[in-house]
């Protein structure tokens, strides 16, 4: 039984590492990547907006321990920012690397060339979904165990 409990503790520590790692990645991405992927001619307003989304997502993921509802918002914002970065990356490859008008050609190129990047994107989405689900579970647990109003 003690061996089984050690595995549960390992899973808990792994979950904390996933949450904190994703929050740190989003936080440093939000603060330091105002100019996305070196595209100097990119619209600064959208870059600042994405940096804000990533920063709020990171704080939401970290505040999950005190307020699970903010963890839910952080998880949704994290998934949104990862999706926006993927779309931007495909557009950037289309415009600056391939110099074509086709979004599909750029997507096929990314699938063919950047397999390691796709693996990391999949890991980011998985971490975002894990954090979102974990916050939802904590929110439901908080709602169930809350005393009835008088």
83-100 confidence digits (pLDDT tens): 887 887 777 777 777 777
35-45 confidence digits (pLDDT tens): 554 555 566 77
Lowest mean pLDDT, pick from 30-34, 97-101, 103-107, 136-140: 30-34
Confidence check: pLDDT of 129 > 80: yes
8 Å CB contact between 79 and 125: yes
Question: What pLDDT sits at residue 30?
Answer: 60
Question: Model confidence at 79, in pLDDT bands (50, 70, 90)?
Answer: very high
Question: What pLDDT sits at residue 73?
Answer: 94
**Mean pLDDT of all residues in 61-67:** 91
pTM for the model stands at 0.77
Confidence check: pLDDT of 70 > 90: yes
18-34 confidence digits (pLDDT tens): 999 999 888 886 655 55
**Mean pLDDT of all residues in 49-54:** 85
Nearest CA-CA partner of 19 in 67, 62, 69:
62
Kindly report the length of the chain: 150
CA-to-CA dists, residue 77 to 23, 50, 64, 83, 107, angstroms:
11, 10, 13, 10, 23
């Amino acid at each position: 039984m003690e061996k089984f409990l050690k595995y549960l503790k390992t899973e808990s520590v792994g979950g904390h590492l996933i949450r904190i790692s994703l929050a740190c990645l989003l936080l440093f991405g939000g603060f330091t990547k105002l100019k996305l992927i070196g595209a100097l001619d990119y619209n600064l307003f959208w870059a600042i907006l994405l940096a804000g989304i990533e920063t709020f997502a990171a704080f939401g993921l970290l505040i999950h321990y005190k307020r699970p509802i903010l963890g839910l918002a952080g998880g949704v914002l994290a998934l949104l920012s990862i999706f926006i970065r993927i779309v931007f990356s495909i557009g950037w490859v289309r415009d600056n690397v391939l110099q074509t008008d086709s979004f599909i050609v750029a997507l096929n190129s990314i699938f063919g060339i950047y397999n390691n990047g796709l693996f990391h994107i999949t890991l980011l989405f998985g971490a975002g979904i894990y954090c979102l689900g974990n916050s939802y579970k904590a929110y439901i647990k908080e709602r169930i165990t809350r005393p009835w109003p008088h």
